[in-house]
A and B are shown apart, each in its own frame.
Chain A
Amino acid sequence: MANKILAILEQRDNKLKRSAFEAVSTAVKLAGELNLEGEAVVIGADIENISEAGKYGITKITHFKNDQLSNYSTSAYTKIICNYARETGAAYIVIAGTSLGKDLAPHISGRLIAGCLMDCTSLDASSGEVIATRPVYAGKALIEVKLNSEVKILVLRPNVFKAEVIDENASPNIVTINIDDPDLRTRVTDIKKSEGKLDVAEADIIVSGGRGLKAPENFHLVEELADVLGAAVGASRAVVDAGWRDHREQVGQTGKTVSPSLYVACGISGAIQHLAGMSSSKYIVAINKDKDAPIFNVADYGIAGDIFEVLPALTEEIKKIKS
């Protein structure tokens, strides 16, 4: 009888990521609603803060350990998780949709012949089965969808599901299983970090620039504002295609879909592809000379003025209140 719900926890640099706690919390909540037993699984070398996951209500965590697995290996991770899911009779697998989660979940799906829903933004188990809501067409529409497979895999959009502390002092049962001979056919051999920059996919505040900046050398205005806000720098497709900015910064339909608490659009007119990628942000500020630009239709607050004048003033004002 399949009665388990497994939360897969991701570690980076031997530390559980914030999104891992979102997966734990969601698994615990679903387990309660569906009368299943929640458990967590983590793969890696020594991990500093495994027990922290217990705060979110999970009582058992299995740590599959091998020094070669501190970096991601698609083949090894897939094999370990699928074997464990089969052994324990998992009915649901929950994982955060980070780069790792988005790569791994469909592999598990293929190996276990299980349905897989990526990028879920809400889950409703009130009917006794899970109905997921997920954006399609880059967020221009939402679907409600359910899985009819025996094992069901749910991938959570990061930053959307709450990580709720249930017991600050919980001490979960941590079981360590050494993996002797991991399947390293596909493995990460090196990580090239992009000079300490915050990624738009993970940032709580994003300051984005568009063609209104007129030239790539003016992007420092966006970077300076991002700096004082502790924000990531984003970009519109127009400036990425023009070669001003790297694709990793692109927000929108062929870039990243983001939902930060604050999105500041500077000199971005708001093409439909861009709006699709950012309009689920909690608060949106638009600064654009053209008061009829579509970006103002989704902005909470706007200044219909010259970014070359407004941006430095905004940076200064925020510096003042932060100091």
Chain B
Amino acid sequence: MKIAVCVSHVPDTATKVKVGADQKTIDPSGVTYIVNPYDEFAIEEALKMKEKFGGDSEVTAISVGSDANKETIRKALAMGVDKGILLKDENRRDSFSISKALAAEIKSQGFELVFCGKQSVDYDNSAVPQLTAELLEFSCVTVVVSLNIDGNKVTAEREVEGGKEVVETELPVIIGAQKGLNEPRYASLKGIMASKKKIIEEKPAASAEQFAEVISMKKPPEKQPGRILGTDKSAVPELVRLLREEAKVI
């Protein structure tokens, strides 16, 4: 089974975001970048599927972006992914153009099982798995918390409001991983050493037009700190009064 996992390189979730001088993107100075948290579940699931299918199964990590993304690809390699592909484009941020680049690569390499995080925690558009699948005419299930593949048949559970949907479909498929799908493994020292010998192939990302045009970026309005009403339960009646009479929410 030829398995791919798409990974993105994003600011650490602890980052305090500052708007950059262009007023359209964040100021990258002082920002630590990490593997997109949802992609860790995607990587783990890809590795589990490789173990399940055995034989000459292989997992390739693909990332769209700049040289800096190699750090994230390298982490995937250290977890056990076999090789990496960097599709280079410094300025690609819109979901459609990223999906185009991924779809072109997935098609040319003949992958039939593809994992992504359900969303990247930078632009939070949560569209790339579905869009890429559509461009390839693959099936797709997103927000997946449980997965089983038997022959050609794919059964997945996806998180929805108030429960889970059981979804059936067929290969080839793109799976958008949600937290809870598995427990991502840590890279072992041996894995980290081995990853240094693994190959990251670099090529230009397939060209594509960008549909989304960012006009400006700003910080959300700061919330004014409110009132501390007290330090014990004697403040409770006043709290309830304010919620009823001032906020009118209960």
| B72 at the binding interface (Cβ < 8 Å) | no
Instruction: Give the distance in Å from the alpha carbon of A291 to the alpha carbon of B232 in the complex.
Output: 12
Given A110-B134, A313-B233, verify A189-B168 contact (CB < 8 Å). Answer: yes
The residue on B at minimum CB distance from A320 is: B240
Q: Chain B interface: which of A39-47, A95-103, A170-178?
A: A95-103
Q: Chain A interface: which of B52-60, B76-84, B117-125, B190-198?
A: B117-125
A270 → B minimal CB distance (Å): 11
Contact B170 A185 (CB under 8 A): yes
Instruction: Give the distance in Å from the alpha carbon of A153 to the alpha carbon of B235 in the complex.
Output: 48
| B30 at the binding interface (Cβ < 8 Å) | no
The residue on A at minimum CB distance from B17 is: A140
| A3 at the binding interface (Cβ < 8 Å) | no
Contact B230 A298 (CB under 8 A): no
Contact B157 A103 (CB under 8 A): no
- Count, chain B residues at interface, CB 8 A: 86
Contact B130 A103 (CB under 8 A): yes
Task: Write out the residue numbers on chain A whose beta carbons fall within 8 Å of the beta carbon of B165.
Answer: 71-72, 99, 188, 190-192
Q: Chain A interface: which of B105-113, B199-207, B220-228?
A: B220-228
Given A119-B124, A254-B37, verify A194-B215 contact (CB < 8 Å). Answer: no
Task: Write out the residue numbers on chain A whose beta carbons fall within 8 Å of the beta carbon of B236.
Answer: 303, 310, 313-314, 317
Instruction: Give the distance in Å from the alpha carbon of A304 to the alpha carbon of B233 in the complex.
Output: 10
Contact B250 A229 (CB under 8 A): yes
Contact A302 B226 (CB under 8 A): yes
Contact A296 B231 (CB under 8 A): no
Task: Write out the residue numbers on chain B whose beta carbons fall within 8 Å of the beta carbon of A141.
Answer: 17, 19, 26, 217-220
Contact B225 A303 (CB under 8 A): no
| A272 at the binding interface (Cβ < 8 Å) | yes
Contact A304 B14 (CB under 8 A): no
Contact A187 B163 (CB under 8 A): no
Task: Write out the residue numbers on chain B whose beta carbons fall within 8 Å of the beta carbon of A106.
Answer: 95, 126-131, 134
Contact B166 A283 (CB under 8 A): no
Contact B211 A114 (CB under 8 A): yes
Instruction: Give the distance in Å from the alpha carbon of A142 to the alpha carbon of B167 in the complex.
Output: 34
Given A78-B134, A119-B124, A143-B214, verify A191-B235 contact (CB < 8 Å). Answer: no
Task: Write out the residue numbers on chain B whose beta carbons fall within 8 Å of the beta carbon of A131.
Answer: 215
The residue on A at minimum CB distance from B216 is: A144
Contact A272 B16 (CB under 8 A): yes
17 other A-B residue contacts (CB within 8 Å) besides A115-B94, A300-B226: A74-B169, A98-B161, A99-B143, A99-B165, A107-B140, A135-B124, A138-B121, A146-B212, A147-B212, A186-B139, A188-B165, A189-B168, A192-B164, A205-B249, A283-B243, A303-B229, A303-B235
12 A-B residue pairings within 8 Å (CB atoms):
A75-B169, A106-B95, A109-B130, A115-B212, A141-B26, A201-B161, A246-B180, A279-B220, A301-B226, A302-B228, A305-B233, A317-B236
- Taking Cβ atoms with an 8 Å cutoff, the residues of B that contact A are 11, 13-17, 19, 24, 26, 37-38, 94-96, 99, 121-135, 139-143, 145, 157-170, 178-180, 209-220, 223, 225-233, 235-237, 239-240, 242-244, 247, 249-250
- Taking Cβ atoms with an 8 Å cutoff, the residues of A that contact B are 71-72, 74-75, 78, 98-100, 102-103, 105-107, 109-111, 114-119, 131, 135-149, 185-194, 197-199, 201-202, 205, 229, 246-248, 250, 253-255, 261-262, 271-273, 279-280, 282-285, 291, 296-306, 309-310, 313-314, 317-318, 321
